[in-house]
Copies of this chain bind each other. A is one copy, B any other.
Amino acid sequence: MSIRIGIFGYGNLGRGVEAAIRQNRDMELCAVFTRRDPSSLKLKTAGVPVVSAKEVSAWADRLDVMILCGGSATDLPEQTPALAKYFNVIDSFDTHAKIPEHFENVDRAAVDAGKVAIISVGWDPGMFSLNRLYASALLPDGKDYTFWGKGVSQGHSDAIRRVEGVLDARQYTIPVESALQAVRSGENPELTTRDKHLRECFVVAEEGADKARIEKEIKEMPNYFADYDTTVHFISAEELQRDHSGIPHGGFVIRSGCTGFEGEHKHIIEYSLKLDSNPEFTSSVLVAYARAAFRMAKEGQRGCKTVFDVPPALLSANDPAALRKQML
> How many residues does chain A have at the interface if contact means C-beta atoms less than 8 Å apart?
68
Interface pair B133/A315, CB less than 8 Å apart: yes
Q: Find chain B residues with CB under 8 A from A100 CB.
A: 321, 324-325
Identify the closest chain B residue to A274 (Cβ). B268
- Of the stretches A83-91, A138-146, A221-229, the one at the interface is A138-146
Bound-complex Cα distance A277 to B262 (A): 13
Interface residues of A in 293-328 (CB under 8 A from B): 306-313, 315-317, 320-321, 323-325, 327-328
Q: Find chain B residues with CB under 8 A from A140 CB.
A: 23-24, 317
Tell me whether A315 and B134 are in contact in the complex, defined as CB-CB below 8 angstroms, given that A23-B140, A260-B280 are known contacts: yes
Q: In the complex, what's the smallest C-beta–C-beta distance from A14 to chain B, in angstroms?
A: 13
Q: In the complex, what's the smallest C-beta–C-beta distance from A82 to chain B, in angstroms?
A: 21
- Of the stretches A60-68, A123-131, A148-156, A164-172, the one at the interface is A123-131
Interface residues of A in 64-107 (CB under 8 A from B): 96, 99-100, 103
Residue A3 is within 8 A (CB to CB) of chain B in the complex: no
Interface pair A138/B285, CB less than 8 Å apart: yes
Number of copies: 2
Interface pair A311/B309, CB less than 8 Å apart: yes
Interface pair B309/A310, CB less than 8 Å apart: no
Residue A266 is within 8 A (CB to CB) of chain B in the complex: yes
Chain A residues close to B by CB (< 8 Å): 16, 19-20, 22-24, 44, 96, 99-100, 103, 120, 125, 127, 129-134, 136-141, 184, 259-261, 265-277, 280-281, 283-285, 288, 291, 306-313, 315-317, 320-321, 323-325, 327-328
List 29 A-B pairs, Cβ < 8 Å: A19-B261, A23-B141, A23-B259, A24-B140, A44-B261, A100-B321, A103-B324, A129-B328, A130-B312, A133-B312, A133-B313, A133-B323, A134-B312, A137-B317, A259-B280, A260-B280, A267-B274, A267-B275, A267-B277, A267-B281, A268-B275, A269-B271, A270-B272, A307-B328, A308-B311, A308-B312, A308-B313, A309-B313, A312-B312
